[in-house]
């Protein structure tokens, strides 16, 4: 870690995690998270208004905790990065507003970055600089995507995506049918280890010869699993929960890994990065490793904590923006709930950035920025 590498604070509020990370270059200094997932659990999913209010309450304490953990002052920062999209509109607004306030008060450049691109860039904190191009499989509650990134700060190309339910969403819905609670991913992963993945032949969506080679569909699988469970219950039979979990999980990860390896081969890329919340799934990691080894592809998967939503990933992409001299965002930056992945960040114009205003330090409060 060199002292001249950019020191960047990242803020992530796209869903129900208030994440604040601090990195210097590609070195993680702090990763503070305040989650509201327990509050949403009784509703069986994330409630946007509750998430937004939770972000408001957690924002300043989480930033202060990250600064303390990193052992740095806010005035030492070289930039403030924030997820400006995609995500829940209200939740994004809280993070963007906070980032703009800190950037303005401190006279630091602001970088509004893309949530999905951040999920790719976080791997730099685990395994060093990303290869160029990078092939990335992103799997989470809201997204399942195959992306080719020749330059993570400026050039991200979508190869395929989910046309209906994302993988994480399917996990949550099947967990609900099995009365396993929310979120569904961790509990299904745990139960599946004790089940037989070949017990039930659930369908693999969009794997026919005429189907889109890199797109995903999990709605048919979700319906098939739900009907199988309902039929068992209607017949008065006990549902083998562990076998259902294992067979369902296998159907999901089979398709994800098969298409990701195919994309690497077709594009001539000799490595694969997997990110997003579902990348914490143990079977996905194991099957991806197995298939990548057979195909001569190097697999890069961050540790589970860096796969779920966090501020470290936003800071990592922000630091890369600073290092490559990308144009900062304007203070007029707004949240964009549907920000396309082809826009890794939201650049502004050359004359309206926080650090261009000579008067901004006049409003700084010593007791706010220790």
Q: Is residue 1 part of a domain?
A: no
Is 185 labeled as ligand-binding? yes
Same domain (yes/no): 117, 194: no
368 within a domain of the structure (yes/no)? no
**Any domain includes 127:** no
Q: How far apart are CA 33 and CA 307, in angstroms?
A: 13
Is 160 in the same domain as 294?
A: yes
* Domain-ending residue, one of 270, 302, 334: 302
CA separation (Å) from 343 to 117, 130, 131, 152, 154? 9, 18, 19, 10, 7
Q: Is 236 labelled a binding residue?
A: no
Q: Is 281 annotated as a binding residue?
A: yes
Number of structural domains, the chain?
A: 2
Domain with residue 110: its CATH number is: 3.30.420.40
Evaluate if residue 41 carries a pLDDT over 80: no
| Same-domain check for residues 285 and 355 | no
Tokens of 208: 């026919």
- pLDDT 10s digits, 53-85: 999 999 999 999 999 999 999 999 999 999 999
Determine whether the annotation assigns residue 141 to a binding site: yes
265 and 352 within one domain: no
On whether residue 92 sits in a domain, the answer given is: yes
Residue at 187 is within a domain? yes
pLDDT attached to residue 350? 64
Query: Within a 10 A sphere around the Cβ of 323, how many other Cβ atoms?
Result: 15
DSSP per-residue letters across 72-123:
--GGG-SEEEEEEESS-HHHHHHHHHHHHHHHHHHT--EEEEEHHHHHHHTT
| Residue 152: closest CA among 345, 22, 331, 364 | 345
Residue 111 and residue 173 in one domain = no
Name the pLDDT band for 364 (thresholds 50, 70, 90): very low
Tens-place pLDDT, residues 115-164: 999 999 999 999 999 999 999 999 988 889 999 999 999 999 999 999 99
On whether 138 is known to bind a ligand per the annotation, the reply is yes
Same domain for 202 and 175 = yes
- 140 is annotated as contributing to ligand binding: yes
Please tell me the distance from the alpha carbon of residue 307 to that of residue 119, in angstroms, as a whole number: 7
d(CA 190, CA 287): 16
Residue 154 lies in a domain: yes
In angstroms, the CA 36 to CA 18 distance is 8
pTM for the whole structure: 0.91
State whether the Cα torsion 321-323-326-332 is positive or negative: positive
Paired tokens of 214: 């890199």
Which residue range(s) make up the domain with 193?
A: 132-302
Report the b/e string of 131-169 with b at 16+ CB within 10 A: eebbbbbbbbbbbbbbbbbeebbeebeebbbbebbbbbb
On whether both 322 and 181 belong to a single domain, the answer is no
The answer on whether 355 is annotated among ligand-binding residues is no
With 0-12 / 13-18 / 19 or more C-beta atoms within 10 angstroms meaning exposed / middle / buried, residue 82 is: buried
Report whether 19 contacts 314 (CB < 8 A).
yes
142 is in an annotated binding site: yes
pLDDT digits (tens, 9 = 90+) for 155-191: 999 999 999 988 999 999 999 999 999 899 999 999 9
* Same domain, residue pair 288 and 168: yes
Which of 281, 302, 323 terminates a domain? The answer is 302
Q: What pLDDT shows up at residue 35?
A: 82
Confidence grade of residue 50 (pLDDT, cut at 50, 70, 90): confident
Q: Per-residue pLDDT averaged across 354-361, rounded?
A: 42
Structure tokens at 249: 């999980």
Residue 368 has pLDDT above 60, yes or no: no
335 and 294 together in one domain: no
Q: Tell me the pLDDT tens digit for each residue of 207-235.
A: 988 888 999 999 999 999 999 999 999 99
Residue 40 marked in a binding site: no
**What are the tokens at 50?**
């509750």
Question: Are 108 and 152 found together in one domain?
Answer: no
Is 94 marked within a binding site? no
97 in a domain, yes or no? yes
Please, which residues have CB within 8 angstroms of residue 240's CB and are 6 or more apart in sequence?
Answer: 195, 199
As to burial, measured by CB atoms within 10 angstroms (0-12 exposed, 13-18 middle, 19+ buried), residue 370 is exposed
Same-domain check for residues 184 and 288: yes
Look at residue 356 and tell me whether its pLDDT is greater than 60: no
Q: Is there a domain that residue 370 lies in? A: no
Q: Distances in Å between the alpha carbon of 228 and those of 166, 171, 232, 334?
A: 21, 16, 6, 45
191 lies in the same domain as 317: no
pLDDT of residue 359: 38
Q: Where residue 358 falls among pLDDT bands split at 50, 70, 90?
A: very low
């Amino acid at each position: 870690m060199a002292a001249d590498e950019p020191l960047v604070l990242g803020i992530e509020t796209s869903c129900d995690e208030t994440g604040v990370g601090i990195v210097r270059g590609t070195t993680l200094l702090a990763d503070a998270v305040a989650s509201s997932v327990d509050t949403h659990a009784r509703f069986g999913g994330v409630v946007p208004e509750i998430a937004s209010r939770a972000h408001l309450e957690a924002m300043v304490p989480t930033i202060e905790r990250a600064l303390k953990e990193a052992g740095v002052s806010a005035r030492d920062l070289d930039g403030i990065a924030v997820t400006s999209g995609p995500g829940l509109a209200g939740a994004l607004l809280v993070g963007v507003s906070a980032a703009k306030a800190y950037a303005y008060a401190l006279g630091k450049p602001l970088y509004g970055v893309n949530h999905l691109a951040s999920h790719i860039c976080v791997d730099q904190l685990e395994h060093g600089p990303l290869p160029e191009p990078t092939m990335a499989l992103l799997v989470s509650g809201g997204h399942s995507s195959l992306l080719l990134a020749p330059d993570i700060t400026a050039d991200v190309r979508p190869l395929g995506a989910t046309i209906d339910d994302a993988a994480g969403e399917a996990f949550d819905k099947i967990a609900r049918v099995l009365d396993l609670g929310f979120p569904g991913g961790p509990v299904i992963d745990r139960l599946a280890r004790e089940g037989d993945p070949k017990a039930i032949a659930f369908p693999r969506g969009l794997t026919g010869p005429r189907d889109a080679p890199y797109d995903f569909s999990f709605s048919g699988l979700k319906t098939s699993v739900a009907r199988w469970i309902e039929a068992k219950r209607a017949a008065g039979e006990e549902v083998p929960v562990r076998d259902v979990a294992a067979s369902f999980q296998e159907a999901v990860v089979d398709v994800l890994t098969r298409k990701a390896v195919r994309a690497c081969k077709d594009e001539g890329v000799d490595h694969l990065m997997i990110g997003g919340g579902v990348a914490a799934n143990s079977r996905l990691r194991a099957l991806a490793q197995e298939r990548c080894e057979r195909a001569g592809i190097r697999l890069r998967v961050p540790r589970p904590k860096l796969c779920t939503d966090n501020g470290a990933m936003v800071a990592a992409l922000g630091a890369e923006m600073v290092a490559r001299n990308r144009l900062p965002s304007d203070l007029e930056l707004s949240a964009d709930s549907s920000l396309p992945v082809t826009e890794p960040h939201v650049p502004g114009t050359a004359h309206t950035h926080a650090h261009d205003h000579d008067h901004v330090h006049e409003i700084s409060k010593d007791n706010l920025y220790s």
